[in-house]
Structures are given as C-alpha cells and as structure tokens.
Structure 1
Amino acid sequence: MAKKIKMVCYGVRKTEKLFFETLNKNYGYDLTLIEEYLTKDNIETAKGHEAVMVRANCDCYEQNLLKMKEYGVKYLLTRTVGYNHIDLKKAHELGFEMAYVPGYSPNAVSELAVSMGNGLLRNLFYSANHQQNHNFKIDDFMFAKEIRNSTIGIIGTGRIGYQAAKAWHGMGAKVLGYDIYESDQAKSILTYCDLKTLIKESDLISLHCPYIKEENYHLVDKNFLAKMKPGSVLINVVRGELMDLDAVYDAVKSGHLKGVGLDVLENESKVFFKDFAGKPTPDNITNKLLSLYPRIIVTPHIGSYTDEAVKNMIEITYENLKVILSGQECKNKI
C-alpha cells in the first residue's frame, strides 16, 4: 500500500471517474478529481495537494509551475506518452519529481485509424452526409475500391502501427511499412520499403510515428502530398505537428486526395474540448478543414478514449507515484 498522499487529477471525464476510484483501491491515494483541464484560471485548486496528475492540453508551463511550487506540490505526473505540455526545464529547476506513461493499449488508437480509414475508403461519411439531406441517389464519388484490392501504407510500425497493419492485413489488403527501426514481428504482415515507394503506391497512408521536432516536423507537406496517389486517403491519429494543414487542405480542395481523417491538430488546444455551437472556431485553418466535411473528418483527440487505454494510463500513473514515494528509481521518470 502506497503512502497516503493527496493528489489532484485534472481532465477527469465523467466516464473515467469509476476507473480512478476503482483502481485507487490498490493504492489508497486521497484523490481530488477535477473535470476541467489545468489552466491559469484554476491553478488554485492544486492547493493542499502534494501530487498533481495532468493530461495533454493541461497548462504546466512556468506560471503554473511556480504556483504549484508555492502550494507545496512535489510530484507532477502526466498520464500521457507525450509531455510537451510541461516546461521540463523549469520543472526540473523547481525540483518536481515527474513521470509519464510510456504506452497504453495500442488497439485504442489503431482502431480509430482503421475505422476512419475504412469509412473514408468506402465513402461512409460522404454517404451519411447525403442521407442527412434526404438524398439517396448513388453518385460517382460513392464508387469504392475494395480494401482487399488496396495498398495500405503504415508510417511507423511500433505497437500501434503494428495493430493497424494487422487489422488491414486481416481484411486482405497489401500493407507497406516504413520505419527507421524495422520490426521482425511486423514483417509477417507487411512489406518494408522506402518512404518514397510507400507514398507513391499506397491507396491509404496512416501515420503512426512519434513526433520529433528536429526530424519530422511537417513530414506531410506539399511535396509529400503531391507524391501521393490521386484519390488516396490520409489518416493522422498521432500528432498534429506532423502535418502542414494548409497543404492538406489544398490537396483535398483540389481533389487530389479523396479524404483525410484527423484525430489531432497542430493548434488543437485552441479548438478541442470546446463547443462553439455551430460558430467558427478561433483557428482559421481548422475552419478551412471543417468546410471540406465530409471529405475531411476531424475528431477531438479521442484515440485513447477507450476503457482499456484509460485503465492503463491511470494504473501506470498510480504505480509511477508509488515507486517514487518508495524512494526507488522510477523507470518512467521524466
């Protein structure tokens, strides 16, 4: 049993509360669960807690970090794989002990990628949009290539990319893969090739690579898109920074791409988790993308919003704190 400690957790959705409470029976933390994300406006809610648990889009930059330090917070845990929402330099300078979640259910994100991809390949979103207008005529755009006759390109063949490749392979598609680290496991269901070949031959490309600013910022740019097959589909459920969204908009608007599925945006903090009640968002490129619905589908970063993924993220974070409190070296230390 872990030491009794007060921890405030931000961004806890109603559907997640039961997981937080049930899993905590094995740890005994004194929890405060807050549905809102951590911002400068609600930082005072961290008062009286030694530990803070955050998720992506929580504000863990200098001003909030200074407040946390002032309030006596010692431990900063993020239940995410990425941690670019934390000013690491300042956090280390202030002496916070931090940890992250190295991974969670790979099926969660891969299932969303495959669902989006298949929906766009078979024109489901397009057809459903026609149905909403009481239009049941079949037009030329609805004509589809069967998935078993298609080539799927997977960029990044780690745990999530492998599961996506496995699903499409199971439907009979030819699957190509590109990764700087090739996986022997993945070789049983896909064929590795260079990036140029993958882009040229794929009917659908799904991104599953990590975002590394110095190496692949705007990997999908005007040049990348121009090399894609006319009428192909692009899926990004990883990181918004991997794509030049203006170039993506132009590629769909011109008809070069058939469709694009996005669960992430480069400026998503301006848009996601907010209701604009049918009015334009404050982000111009997002508004442009939305104008091309149903050929561009945008979901609000729901890739990890599944029972298994949430369970994994919470449990690993609880365990990270337990290890830190025990005085041992946490393998997931930031």
Structure 2
Amino acid sequence: MKFIIYNVRDDEIPFVEKWGRDHHVEVVTTTTTLNTETVNEAQGFDGVSCLQTIPYTKELFEAFHRMGIRYLALRNVGVDNIDRAAAKANDVTITNVPAYSPESIAEFAVMMALYLTRKVGYMRQQLQDQHEFHFSPEFMGRLISEQTVGIIGTGRIGRAAIHLFHGLGAKVIAYDKYPQKSTNGEFTYVDRLETLLNQSDIISLHMPATSDNHHLFNHEVFEEMKANAILINTARGSIVNTNDLIFALESGEIAAAGIDTLENESADLQDSRSTKKVADAELIKLSVMPNVLVTPHSAFHTTESVKNMVNISLNNLKAMVMGEKPANLIDEN
C-alpha cells in the first residue's frame, strides 16, 4: 500500500511522515499541483491525497481511470471545484475532511471583525503611508457587544463563530436554508436573508459554494446592507462579486471587509514556495484599502487543523484501499 500527496506544504510534512510511520504505509509527497500534466506522478500508487482550490476536471478523472487510480482523498472541506459526475463516471471515490478544526476558521473570522471594527488598518496606513504615528479621533471603533452579528450558514464553522461572537456579547442572528433545531440560546434564526442584511453590523459567511449562491453578495445586496456594515468571508470566494465589493467599499455602501477567500484563486495561493508577485488588479486594490483585511486563504491554518487534515485524509485513503467504508464520502456528508 502506498499513497501520493500532492500540493504538500512544509508544515504538513512532519504529520505526513508520522502517519506513515504509525501505519507502516509508504507515503510520497510532491509540491506540484494535481492536474492533467502532473497526474502521471501518481502512476503505481494506490490513492491520492490533495489540497487545492483549482478544478478537478473531467480530463483528470479520465486519467485516473486509465491509470487504475480509484481513490482521491481531499485534505479540505470544499468540493465545489470537483466535477463529481466525471469522478463517478470514472469510478473514482472521493472523500473530504468536513471538520478539521471549525474553531480555527471561526477564530480567524472574529479576529478579522475585531481588526476592522477597531480600525487597525487606518492606524497602519497612518504609519506606513504618512510616516506619522499618533492618536487620532478618526480611529474610534465600536465594541462587538454593541453590534448585531449576522451569521450565514450554521454548520460546524458557523456555530463555532456564533459561540465566539456571543461570548463577546454580540447580539447574533443567523440565516440558513436548513436551520438546526437548537440554538443553545446563543442566537436567533431569521426567516429571510434580507432581514439579516438589514439588521447586521457584521456579516460573516460560513456556507459552502454552490451554483445558487454564486455572487450572492453583489451590488444589489451591498445596497441593502447597513452603511457601517462589515463583511467577513472565510468561506468561498465565488460567493462575493469582487468588483461589486470594491465599488461598495469605495462608495461607502458598506464600511469594511475581511476577505480570506478570493474569486478565481490560483494554484500559487496555496503554494508556500511560490515566489510569484501579485498581479491581480482587484487583489492589489483591496490590499491597499485601510478598511480591508485580505489574507491568502489562511483562516484554517493552525497546528490542529493541519494535523487533522493530513490524518483524516490518509485515514480515509487507507480505509478505501482496504475495502472499508471511509468516514467522509463526499456524497454522504
């Protein structure tokens, strides 16, 4: 039994090596992205582990089939970049890691909200651009406990974020197409998304990307939000129309944004060894705004998350190769 891990980062390697020793399985790592040009590296392996935001295409799964590879274990949650019909047609079984550390992403979302609420970006701009460093009345922020936080998506990550915002004293409301039965007294569901948009001072996104919510946050939605509203996106980039977001920030339709996931993320974003300079005009524009905090899809990145992503992914692969049912089939979670 032997596995290959694509897109491996330096921080993952110690956990990969330990898992291989503990389970007496040969695990080979490569820093390359999995695509039709690199899939030949998987020849002779029993399964593939991968972490990337670029597409897993029909052509890729056809290559899997030709090579006799039947198992792909993702090290992340999202499956919106997978041609699932093509995977099924080519007899490729796929697993993901639906809960590697909800708290890691939730804490990051709260950190972004605090950074933006207390106008830290304006303080940094004063020092970096104006070479000044002093107190300014313009930096006056607001307490989280003074605000209404709207959570969209109340799965594991959304509930973890709710718990943290509630702990800071915020009034928390939430919207989900499939609301859970219990709120533990920490939040209140609203029946309509428009209600959440109209009432929230901070809106934090925690739902998967689907065809239904592509560009859900666009010009019309930004117009419905409060002028002092802060948008936090640690979910998926496709949910927010980046061009409309920039307009909303520049025109004052909303006050600030924390963006950890971007539209059309390149493979370089998850490549810790990449030396390419940022060339995306929209990303550059967002990065220099004092009312924006933009990060490279890093909300998940804690020691606990990385360990769980590696271990759960490889456990899933081992179970599939041994003819057992893995815990995290994507068609069942």
Same fold, judged at TM 0.5 (above): yes
Q: Partner of 1:112 in structure 2?
A: 108
1:309 and 2:305 correspond = yes
Alpha carbons of structure 1 residues 313 and 163: separation in structure 2 relative to 1, 3 Å: same
**Which 10-residue stretch deviates more, 15-24 or 94-103?**
94-103
Q: Distance in 1 between matches of 2:156 and 2:326?
A: 22
Q: Distance in 2 between matches of 1:87 and 1:164?
A: 30
Q: Partner of 2:240 in structure 1?
A: 243
Q: Distance in 2 between matches of 1:266 and 1:137?
A: 36
Q: Partner of 2:35 in structure 1?
A: 39
Q: Partner of 2:93 in structure 1?
A: 97
1:145 and 2:137 correspond = no
Could you say what secondary structure the match of 2:11 adopts?
Answer: helix
1:12 and 2:5 correspond = no
1:272 and 2:264 correspond = no
**Which 10-residue stretch deviates more, 27-36 or 84-93?**
84-93
2:126/2:133 contact within 8 Å kept:
yes
Q: Partner of 2:329 in structure 1?
A: 333
1:38/1:59 contact within 8 Å kept:
no
1:48 and 2:41 correspond = no
Q: What is the CA-CA distance between 1:59 and the residue it aligns to?
A: 5.1
1:229 and 2:226 correspond = yes
Q: What is the CA-CA distance between 1:13 and the residue it aligns to?
A: 0.8
1:38/1:58 contact within 8 Å kept:
no
Q: Distance in 2 between matches of 1:240 and 1:58?
A: 12
**One-letter amino acid of the counterpart of residue 177, structure 1:** A
Alpha carbons of structure 1 residues 135 and 152: separation in structure 2 relative to 1, 3 Å: same
2:155/2:206 contact within 8 Å kept:
yes
Could you say what secondary structure the match of 1:7 adopts?
Answer: strand
1:192 and 2:182 correspond = no
2:168 to 146, 168, 171: 171
Alpha carbons of structure 1 residues 74 and 183: separation in structure 2 relative to 1, 3 Å: closer
Structure 2 gap ranges (5+): none
* Number of equivalent positions: 325
Alpha carbons of structure 1 residues 118 and 100: separation in structure 2 relative to 1, 3 Å: same
1:285 and 2:282 correspond = yes
Structure 1 gap ranges (5+): none
Q: Partner of 1:218 in structure 2?
A: 215
Q: What is the CA-CA distance between 1:289 and the residue it aligns to?
A: 2.6
Identity over aligned pairs, percent: 34
Q: Distance in 2 between matches of 1:333 and 1:179?
A: 23
Q: Distance in 2 between matches of 1:10 and 1:53?
A: 6
Offset from partner CA, 1:244-286 (integer Å, 9 cap, x none): 1111111101123221111111211276245443xx51x4433
Offset from partner CA, 1:135-159 (integer Å, 9 cap, x none): 1234454111122211111111221
Q: What is the CA-CA distance between 1:60 and the residue it aligns to?
A: 2.9
Q: Partner of 1:159 in structure 2?
A: 156
**Structure 1 outlier segments of 4+, above 6 Å:** none
Could you say what secondary structure the match of 1:20 adopts?
Answer: helix
Alpha carbons of structure 1 residues 97 and 157: separation in structure 2 relative to 1, 3 Å: closer
**One-letter amino acid of the counterpart of residue 99, structure 1:** T
Q: What is the CA-CA distance between 1:87 and the residue it aligns to?
A: 2.5
1:8/1:49 contact within 8 Å kept:
yes
**One-letter amino acid of the counterpart of residue 162, structure 2:** A
Alpha carbons of structure 1 residues 98 and 201: separation in structure 2 relative to 1, 3 Å: closer
Q: Partner of 2:200 in structure 1?
A: 202
Q: Distance in 2 between matches of 1:198 and 1:108?
A: 24
Q: Distance in 2 between matches of 1:52 and 1:176?
A: 40
**Which 10-residue stretch deviates more, 301-310 or 35-44?**
35-44
Q: Distance in 2 between matches of 1:59 and 1:218?
A: 18
TM-score (norm 2): 0.89
Q: How does 1:67-86 map to 2 (within 5 A)?
A: 67-86=63-82
Q: Distance in 1 between matches of 2:234 and 2:226?
A: 20
Q: Distance in 2 between matches of 1:12 and 1:58?
A: 15
Offset from partner CA, 1:216-243 (integer Å, 9 cap, x none): 2211111111111112210000011111
2:204/2:231 contact within 8 Å kept:
yes
Q: Distance in 1 between matches of 2:295 and 2:329?
A: 31
1:37/1:57 contact within 8 Å kept:
no
1:88 and 2:84 correspond = yes
TM-score (norm 1): 0.89
Give the RMSD, CA atoms, in angstroms.
Answer: 2.1
Q: Distance in 1 between matches of 2:155 and 2:282?
A: 30
